[in-house]
Every structure is written in C-alpha cells, then in structure tokens.
Structure 1
C-alpha cells in the first residue's frame, strides 16, 4: 500500500475492530516507530528509498494489532522494533510502546528501557516521535472554526495530573467542546486543561477562545449545571439557547429525594419529556416540582429556577431532539480518557501526555463514529443566522 501520514494510519485503524484504549494506542505508536526508524535508516543510505508498506497482524495479549510495516526499495530494511515473523509480542514489549509516549519517561529512563529491549532508538529519536504527536494535538486545539454551529456540547472532566514544574500530582480539569454543524457533522471544537476545579473564569476564557478562532453564532449549547457557565454564555452568546443535561438532572434526583419520591417524579418526567410543545412542557414540569416543594424546599426551588433550561431541546425539530438533551456525547470522550488515565498509573504523567491522549482519542472517534453526518439540520437563511 502507498505510504501514509498519521491521518492515513488513523483512517486505516478505524476500519479494524480493535480494542479501545491500549490496543489502539499501541498499534498507532508501533506504526509511527517503524516509519520513523525507516526514515532514520534512509538518511544514511543515499542510493536507497522508501517503498511503501505491507500489512501484518501482530498477535499480543491485547488482541490482534493491524500494522503497516514500512519497506525499502532494496529490501534490506526490517524494523528492529518488530518481533520476528510468527512471534507474538510479550508483555514487556507492550509496556515499552505505551510508556514511551504516555508515561513521559525522562531521557535516562528511556535510554535504560531501550537497552533492556535491545532496540536501536536513541532517546532523542523517541522524543522526536512524541513531539510529532504533540504537535498534532496542538493543531487540533488551535484550528479555525466554522462561523455557525447548530449545537455546542461542553463538559468538564476532573482528573489528576503531574505538574512537571513542581514535580507533584495535582488536581486538574479537562474541558472538551464538541460541535454539530449545520450539516449534522460532529467534530472537536477545542480542549482546554486547567489546574484545580472549573470556574467562571475558565468558562469565559474557553468561550472567548472559540470566538477568537472564528465561531460567531451557536443556536444551542448543551452542558451540565456548572457554576458560572450560564452567566458566561449569556455574556458572550446572548442569543443562544442553553440546555442543561436532562440525564444529569434525573441522576441528581436520587441524591436529593427519597427512593419512593424519585420513582414518582421520574415517571411523571418521562411523560413531560414527550410533550412536543416547549411552553407546555415547562408548565407541566413546574406543576410536578410543586408537588414536592414542602418536602424538599431548597432543592425544588433550584429546579424551578432552571426549569426552562431543561427543555430547550423541545424548540428544535423532533429528529434532532434525542441528540441534544444530554451531554452524553462528551461524556463518552471522558470515559475514554479515564481508561487511558487508569492504564498509565492512575494519573496523567504530564499536561503533554493528556494532550496526546485527547488527540488519539478524538482522532479515532472522528474517523469512525462521527464519519457520517446525522442529518441536514438548518440553513444559513434561518433567523438565528440573519
């Protein structure tokens, strides 16, 4: 097959039903390592050239990894990192590949690891590969955005991350923004990493960055009930509807009401969710809340104050409602990041590590689940864009 860049490799991987997380990252990195080794080898051989790739399935405890093995024109090159033909990759080999990028080893540890594996890569060459992946992640974070979006999903993922400047693990929050354009296509709008917990200042910075990169108008923003986000949206996107995640509200019932009351509330809420009229749904929801007002005064007061934001999705065509009443689309990203965090020692080893994890996670999803648009939603002649 013809030689591919990183995007081509991701596209090929997306066609194979591989295990999420470790197996995907391992296959991606193996391909990058082998291609880089050929590049390094050909620098020393003026009369030799690259000659495409051949496909190989590498069996290991993670499953069967689909690899694109680089060839040279003379037929002399064979990647040193690749196990012999018909041999499986052992556990230490898998640890080696994953740790090189996600564990952010120091140059000394990389050198020791390379020596133990008897592989010819230098620490500098490994850093060159890591830098390439990191640059791809930065491009994803800074690319120009469309002027108009139908919907923007925003969520905050709380995690632990090593601050390399102080040398200790700290609390951090990763914000991810996913957009649906007017053609129904989903894509990453941006990701942002901050130390500590979410704040109104963070939300303002994030929304301002989206605007700076080209975003002008959004019909609907979907989020959880984060402190400070609503006021930030009102300040920067005053004409945008703000939908609070209905699923999160339903989950929170269990923390604030008795089991029997949760059941009664939930049954009535299912009926309200199917009402096609926004105003009627809001009215019925307030009536439902009032039934429990004496028993849970503070909690019910908070629900009533936000009643309209739970049913903004009813203002939109029936075909898209199921896509925009919850933040599940972003939570799916968070669950994949959680898998990477768990498999790399319980915390991200650096901010760069987290950015690479976001890049490989989003690249995979954009090439698979988000490949086809869900439907044509709006046109630029709709009133919101006038």
Structure 2
C-alpha cells in the first residue's frame, strides 16, 4: 500500500521537534508498536480461522485467551508489545517468535555494523547511544555466530566449470589458537567468470603455505565443479605453481609484475629508484618476449654492478613472469598484475585493522565473510575491456571455453 502525503501529514501533525519523532515516546516507536501488535493480531486471526468477536469462533475448539506483555528490541529502541495468546497454547507468532526478544531488522543492523569492522563492544555502545537499547556482547556474538552456518554453505557451494582467470593472494591476521595469539594467513581466490564478473571462490586459513596446502585448495575447487582455469595470477605463493599444475595441468601461472617491481626496488636508494623503475618498465612494457629478454639483458648490464640481485631475481622467475607475453594486449591488461584481488584485500584490511586479534579462527571467517558480502555488492560491472579479452580467449582456447 502506498504511503500518501496526506497520511504523512496526519502522522506528523503533532511532531514539533526531533524528540517527538525519534524520542522514547516518539512517533516512530509508537508506530512500530501499533503496527507490530496489529500484525500479531492478524497472525492470531489466521491461526484461529476467524476474526475477533466472530460468531464462527464459538465451539471451534480454540479461542483467544488474553495477551502477554513482552519487551522487544528494535532499531527505534525497546518496545513493549501485547502478544495475543490462544487457549490451546498452539499460537506461534512469526513476527516475534516465543524465544526471540527483537523485531525483524534488529539482527540485520547488528550484522551490518559487525561487517563494517565494529567490535561487539563498539556495537553495544552504538545501540545504547543511538537507540537507548541495552544489548549484551554475548547477545551480539550469538547473532553474528548464526552466520557461521552460512559460511560453511558458501564455502561448499558449487562453482562454474571454467574460470578464465583466477587471482590468489593473502592477508595476515592475528588469531588465538591453543591459548596463544598467532599470525594466521587468510588466502583468497578471486575468480573472473566468462562474463568478466568477479566472484570470490573461497577463503582459507593456514599458518603455513606450501605445495600440500595449495594442493588441498585446488582439489577443493575441483570437487566444487571447477574443471579448468586458463591463467592463475599470484604473488609468488610458495608451492602454488606445483599444486595447480598437478590439478590443472593446462593452467598457466603468471606472477604479479607489480609485486616483482616492488621487490626489486626494496633495496634501491631513493635517488636511484626512479631511474631503476623506468628501466624495469622497459622489460615488462616490451611488445614481445624477445624484446623483453633483450631489455632484461640491457638492465643487467646497466645495474648489476650496483644491484646484482635485481636481474637475478627476474631471471629466476622469468618463466612465470613472462607468461603474459604469450597473450595479446587485451588479455595482458588483466593478468600482469593482481590489482583486482589487492583492492579487495585493501578493503578487508580496513575492516580488520580495528581488531588487534581475534578470539579464534571462526571469528576471522565470520567477519571476513560478512565484509566480503558488503564489498561484493559493488561488483556490478564486468572487468574493463573484458569483451575483447574474452574474444581472444575464445580464439585461443575454443575447445576449453564454456559459454
């Protein structure tokens, strides 16, 4: 039913100040109470099968039996509701279940605040200051813990059969394990499907990475339906190339060029950094693999005297740094860097930076899952220039493309 201006004028006629609207006895709280109680009466009528005072209720086997007062939490503060009862005690209201003490929308508000990085104590203070509602940290934890079942279902959900590109990266959090607070790495896999849309495939916690860990991750993706990945982009994750080649032998691994450049500049003084960076750009900015290898030789001739480790590092990783030269410019733009997943990690770090540590690994997964769903709401468009890139994939991997 549309809310007309005339109805709003009637409701706001006696509201002369913000207190009249938002206060303890304000319009919003009164309106919430009246609507909730009217809805409960409608539920009772549906349950009994006849309206109040309707003669059809006589000798029906059940009837109304007064009301019970119940104080519930809402986003407008605490409200005392009159909940109808039936004589047979079979009425189970859906609006506010017997075991619940909050109206719909209250839990969602808690989860939304938690997903934005607020701690349980911060949320408690927020509700007390903003809504004059006392909420215990235990209750907030109970509300957010309900998300853990969703996390398990989400982590096990079926995936697409083909992902042209998968980015992998990690962020570090501090979590309590066996009584001690330890650094834990959270690994994330961000897939790009055939439509160019980003999709987080999963997240995993581990203290140690290696071929065995990555093999378990790749097998999990395989079991969830991923039959093929064209290119996997990562930042030198230990043991990952071996694991992905074992499960997806046709997949090429592209190491992140941006990370390689950052690593190369770590021990270069500020005065030379700009010049070294420009010379490195001639390597990864080359048009062909042959030109890139020539540029690497020229870089070594210029800088090996002062920084011999740079060219050596590039040569050691060259087989995986140079993969993107096998592809046309349309695809190179989206695979030579892991910026897509790094921007995701940057958003997650904003959420986790307020937490010195987490009480357990489940708390880590809970917060990151909620935060990821907030972030994913912004993924409304495919990657830039995706259509020409996908056309190139179709030409190169026609027998492997699933449209």
After TM superposition, is the score higher than 0.5? yes
Deviation per CA, 1:4-39, whole angstroms, max 9, x where unpaired?
Answer: xxxxxxxxxxxxxxxxxxxxxxxxxxxxxxxxx99x
Match of 1:192 among 191, 204, 213: 204
Matched, 1:82 2:97: no
- Is contact 2:128–2:135 with CA below 8 Å preserved after alignment? no
CA pair 257-124 structure 1, distance change in 2 beyond 3 A? closer
Aligned to 2:172: 158
Correspondence for 2:397 among 358, 382, 386: 382
Partner of 2:282: 271
Cα-to-partner distance string for 1:134-171 (whole Å, 9 max, x where unaligned): 223233322111111111100121221123xx333211
Question: 2:216 — aligned with what?
Answer: 205
Cα gap change, 1:184 to 1:170, in 2 (>3 Å): same
Give the aligned partner of residue 156 of structure 2.
142
Shift of residue 197, structure 1, vs aligned partner: 3.9
1:178 Cα shift?
Answer: 0.2
Q: Which residue of 1 aligns with 2:322?
A: 311
Return 5+ residue gaps in structure 2 as ranges: 3-31, 45-69, 79-108
Q: Offset at 1:222?
A: 0.6
User: Normalising by structure 2, what TM-score?
Assistant: 0.63
In 2, Cα distance between the equivalents of 1:160 and 1:335?
17
SS of the aligned residue for 1:256 comes to coil
Report which structure shows greater RCO (CA 8 Å, sep ≥6). Answer: 1
Q: Secondary structure at the match of 1:301?
A: helix
Mapping 1:253-268, distance limit 5 Å? 253-259=264-270, 261-268=272-279
2:186 is equivalent to residue 174 of structure 1: yes
TM-score (norm 1): 0.66
Change (3 A) 1:353 1:256: same
Residue pair 2:197, 2:379 contacting (<8 A) in 1 also:
no
2:20 corresponds to which residue?
A: none
Q: 1:321 to 1:332 in 2, by over 3 A?
A: same
Over the aligned positions, Cα root-mean-square deviation in angstroms equals 4.2
Contact 1:219-1:384 at 8 Å conserved across structures? no
Q: 2:115 and 2:349 mapped to 1: Cα distance?
A: 19
In structure 2, the residue corresponding to 1:156 is in which secondary structure?
strand
Task: Quickly say closer, same or farther: Cα 1:246–1:114, change in 2 above 3 A.
Answer: closer
- Partners of 2:289 and 2:334 in 1: CA distance: 17
> 1:227 and 2:242 equivalent?
no
Q: Greater CA radius of gyration, 1 or 2?
A: 2
Flag the 1:95–1:382 CA change in 2: closer, same or farther, 3 A: closer
1:229-256 CA distances to partner (integer Å, 9 max, x unpaired)? 2222332222222111111111112223
From 251, 261, 280, the equivalent of 1:250 is: 261
Q: 1:231 to 1:286 in 2, by over 3 A?
A: farther
Please give the residue correspondences for 1:317-336 in structure 2 after superposition, counting only pairs within 5 Å.
317-336=328-347
Q: CA contact under 8 A between 1:333 and 1:361: conserved in structure 2?
A: no
Question: Which of 112, 131, 144 is the aligned partner of 2:145?
Answer: 131
The 5-angstrom pairing of residues 20-35 of structure 1 reads none
The question of whether the paired residues in 2 share the 8 Å contact of 1:140 and 1:359 is answered with no
Q: Which runs of structure 2 are paired with 1:1-16 in the superposition (5 Å)? A: none
The residue aligned with 2:375 is 365
